[in-house]
Structure 1
Amino acid sequence: MDNSHWQKARQSRDPRFDGLFYVAVKSTGIYCRPICPAPTAHEKNVVYYQFAHNAAQDGFRPCIRCRPDSAPGSAAWQGTKTTVLRAKQLIDQNDEHDCENLAARLGVSSRYLRQLFKQYFGVSITQYRLFNQCHFAKKLIQETHLPLTEIAFSAGFKSIRRFNDAFLQQLNIAPSKLRSSDKKPTSTLTLTLPFRPPYNWPALQGFLQRRLIKPMEWITQTSYGRTFASEQYKGSFTAEFIANKNHFSVSINIDNTLYLQPVINNIRRVLDLDADINLIQMHLSANINNAFTVCEGLRLPGIWSSFEAGIRAVLGQQVSVTAAHNLVTKLVDELGEKEGDAVYFPTAKIVADSDFAFFKMPQARKNALHNLAHFCALNPENDDLDEWLSLKGIGPWTVNYAKLRGQSQPDILLDGDLGVKKAQAAANPFEPANCAPFRSYLTFQLWQQL
């Protein structure tokens, strides 16, 4: 996209472009989201940036009114799949801090990765990571009651002095200047998580409702929530859909705020908030040969973890959605950890240690559950789900389902799925391969036709 497109999007405050570029105003020294409600600046005073960190690097301050730190993120597949975009996503998700480890995960040398990052984004990996930490901290300062010290550690800083220095350097404003004095303490954090419209909430809500595992999950006509847990933290969230403002209002309870950032990132993934849905829809419409009408705003409904998605997939093999739902509900009821009113999905170790006496199913299916749980218990950090294929009872459909919903990979076509086959048979012939790299969305579009 060139400046003429950015200019039109800025002047119309088109929310479909929110987070795809940023607008800096030379006369005020401030950079904004394209949807900022402030009076539109003269074009001669405007500088456009694809990334917020480049505006900050040039000395512009973030707008306190539209808050660029709250813009929707950019998906890993934006534009083209490259190593450097994947590196940026891992940093954005707070999945990796060390450059050497980041390079190892991506299969390149650290020197080459540093060169790529500087070439594409105009800053070093260290500078970008620091900016990202400050942006996240800014969001917490302006939207929560958390003390500044706790926010500093939640954002990954090791000391409050380092936090203050970095914040002033990166955002040209002191963190204390952003804190409202009338914010009342509460045990629940409430954050605004925006998205680019359109967002088909009724379709997502309907999909989740048919697969809802009570009391681990809950749903209303306008909200979805669930519990979550790991070895380091436990908590829950409820996301309320605010259609006219293009965001979710998300209430979070968590017992360890050091892990707040990965939790927020996972909520964004589960609700598919960072998709450039207009680009996806145009790509699918152009490549399905008029086979069906593309459903507007359809998102990928995620599952909290790859392990949970894998267990759901095993229990859903060759049975109806209703039967699979009943089996997962039974598993959570029997093995889920309970604390007061909260119920959590069982850990891999608990599932691996169970004999599944409460299930009336073939032993081969129970063995598959055990094999998957045992592998995940021994390899908790593994995110290469293709390694599951070495486990007896775990086939391509199960792995792809976990990639689709547990990792939200955008290019997974469940071509072995009965529903996908049925929808394809009823539609005009087309070549699914042409829909790459968005075949996960094609899968859900086909399911929507049933």
Structure 2
Amino acid sequence: MIERTRFRKARLARDARFDGLFFIGVRTTGIFCRSVCPATPPLEKNVDYFPSTLAAYQAGLRPCLRCRPESAPGSPAWHGTQTTLKRALRLIDNGEWRQQSLPEFAARLGVSDRYLRRLFQHNLGVSPLKYANFRRVLFAKQLLQQTDLPVTEVAAMAGFGSTRRFNTVFTELLNLNPRQLRRQQVQRRQKNPPHTQFQGRGLVVLLSYRPPYDWAGVRDFYRLRQIAGLEVVTDTSYSRSFSREGCEGTFTATHIPEKNGFRVELVLTQAEHTLALIQRIRSLLDLDADSIALSSHLADNPTLAQIKCGGLRLPGLWSAFEAGVRAILGQQVSVKAAHKLVTRLVSELGKPLTSSRQAKNTNHGEPGDDSPTVLFPEPAAVANSSLEFLAMPDKRRQALRLLAQHLLQKGNDPDQRQVSADRDYQDWLGIPGIGPWTVQYTAFRMGHPDIFLAGDLGVKNALKKLSMDSGQPAMLDSEDLSPWGSYATLLLWQSLSATPLITN
């Protein structure tokens, strides 16, 4: 009853802080909505509340065409589930299951297809294929409503092998024909031009978050560490290049606070990777964080209560390899020195971006502007280099090569290939030159929410400063900070007038 009262107040206030944390099912219309839906609120007696879009769909409801539940900040279905199911759901949510059969997908997870079907049916009430199709269809609906992409391209980007199959599954799950939805959207767009569209070879979508969002903090973190050619940071946007399984491209995320989201311009060479890339960008910008819960938790700590906390987000990196390399190059040196080393590494071993001219011809201006032009070095390039151009101890160069070799050897392991926010990278500790701080910092930059870097010099300096300011001992325990230790680390860094010395 308490939860229902809380949800009722949130939906009547259209409180964006609750967007994506629950969904509203309307019995009289048979649709489900976000808490921020602009439509006239239904009577409470006609409303049911659901924890996810999947739960609402299983109740026989269809997504609202006006508020677009598929565009809400994420609240993944795999929270609280057992390990195998969690890995399977994460792979599907990230667009990793495309061409494989169910037995092949199950083998990738180390289980039989029969066992995997039983896991899904018991925990979610649907088969693995139906869950995957549900996620693909919701992403396709987002593209149909937010862009002018041809239906054939939407089908490919959503991970369907053919337009015919896409039309069948879409109609079956949503009781709506894709082309019919597109026609309705064109009519709406003529009245209200959108923030999102399709331009040239670039896809532009709006990715939402739950406010508040500390864009200034994220921007400044990226700006201090941006690598020329790889990243571009402006007052309102973050751009970078990326590569993924033979696909490469660039994205620019422009903050639009009045929309509680980012306008993301994406240029890529292979359309079938679109879903996975959009999910990666969401994770990199930490768009799915629950600001209310984590801020309340940190504010309850007597030490952290001294620091203003609002809209904290973890600024991520594209890959674990990049995060590990930056961590190794940042060992025991200043941010400035580490930045110089990373810049040199990218300059020497980074591959020129073949799609850079395409990226510049969408919305970045004419060729020759400051768009990303180079990719971060691949593990093979680092493993096969002497790295003598890096002015640092031989042991640290060797650590870089060994890390690259380790990832190359683990290339067929699905847990190594997928980007996971809860991986702890403990298997790296066997590599000479890589210790606990490097592993923890890597996990932190990959979005792990619960990494408290107690031994970090910046954290120690921040606690010392808080103690001096308050006249009271400033102490923190990682267990008390859990499950948001990473945000406590970031908050302490931000409390310093100077940036922590050994983070990059």
Q: TM-score, normalised by structure 2?
A: 0.83
Query: What is the root-mean-square deviation of aligned Cα atoms in Å?
Result: 2.4
What whole-Å deviation, never above 9, does each CA across 1:224-274 have from its counterpart, x for those lacking one? 010001342010000010111101000000010110111111100110001
Aligned to 2:89: 88
Aligned to 2:289: 275
| Secondary structure of the corresponding residue to residue 262 of structure 2 | strand
User: Against the structure 1 CA distance between its residues 74 and 85, is the aligned structure 2 distance closer, same or farther, given a 3 Å change threshold?
Assistant: farther
Instruction: Provide the C-alpha distance between the structure 1 equivalents of 2:199 and 2:389, rounded to a whole number of angstroms.
Output: 44
1:392 is aligned with what amino acid? P
Instruction: Provide the C-alpha distance between the structure 1 equivalents of 2:108 and 2:450, rounded to a whole number of angstroms.
Output: 20
Instruction: Provide the C-alpha distance between the structure 1 equivalents of 2:107 and 2:461, rounded to a whole number of angstroms.
Output: 42
| Secondary structure of the corresponding residue to residue 337 of structure 1 | coil
Aligned to 2:309: 295
Q: CA deviation at 1:82?
A: 4.5
Q: CA deviation at 1:303?
A: 0.3
Give the one of 321, 329, 332 matched to 2:346.
332
User: Against the structure 1 CA distance between its residues 185 and 268, is the aligned structure 2 distance closer, same or farther, given a 3 Å change threshold?
Assistant: closer
Aligned to 1:349: 380
**1:2-401 equivalences in 2 (<5 Å):** 2-74=3-75, 78=79, 80=80, 82-83=82-83, 84=85, 87-96=88-97, 114-115=117-118, 117-179=120-182, 180=185, 186-289=200-303, 292-339=306-353, 342-382=373-413, 383=416, 385-401=425-441
Q: Does 1:422 align with 2:422?
A: no
8 Å CA contact 2:78–2:90 kept in 1: the answer is no
Q: CA deviation at 1:431?
A: 2.1
Q: CA deviation at 1:124?
A: 3.3
Q: CA deviation at 1:26?
A: 2.2
8 Å CA contact 1:93–1:265 kept in 2: the answer is yes
Deviates further, 304-313 or 416-425: 416-425
Aligned to 2:444: 404
| Secondary structure of the corresponding residue to residue 281 of structure 1 | helix
8 Å CA contact 1:75–1:274 kept in 2: the answer is no
Instruction: Provide the C-alpha distance between the structure 2 equivalents of 1:77 and 1:160, rounded to a whole number of angstroms.
Output: 29
Q: TM-score, normalised by structure 1?
A: 0.92
Q: CA deviation at 1:145?
A: 3.0
8 Å CA contact 1:300–1:405 kept in 2: the answer is yes
| Secondary structure of the corresponding residue to residue 249 of structure 1 | strand
Aligned to 2:364: none
1:426 is aligned with what amino acid? K
Instruction: Provide the C-alpha distance between the structure 1 equivalents of 2:443 and 2:239, rounded to a whole number of angstroms.
Output: 21
8 Å CA contact 1:33–1:68 kept in 2: the answer is yes
User: Against the structure 1 CA distance between its residues 85 and 356, is the aligned structure 2 distance closer, same or farther, given a 3 Å change threshold?
Assistant: closer
Q: Which runs of 5+ in 1 are unaligned?
A: none
User: Against the structure 1 CA distance between its residues 82 and 445, is the aligned structure 2 distance closer, same or farther, given a 3 Å change threshold?
Assistant: farther
8 Å CA contact 2:18–2:210 kept in 1: the answer is yes
Aligned to 2:419: none
Instruction: Provide the C-alpha distance between the structure 2 equivalents of 1:294 and 1:120, rounded to a whole number of angstroms.
Output: 40
Aligned to 2:491: 445
2:484 is aligned with what amino acid? F
User: Against the structure 1 CA distance between its residues 29 and 291, is the aligned structure 2 distance closer, same or farther, given a 3 Å change threshold?
Assistant: closer
What whole-Å deviation, never above 9, does each CA across 1:83-118 have from its counterpart, x for those lacking one? 455543332222357666776777777666655544
What whole-Å deviation, never above 9, does each CA across 1:282-326 have from its counterpart, x for those lacking one? 122224555632521110100000000011111100001111111
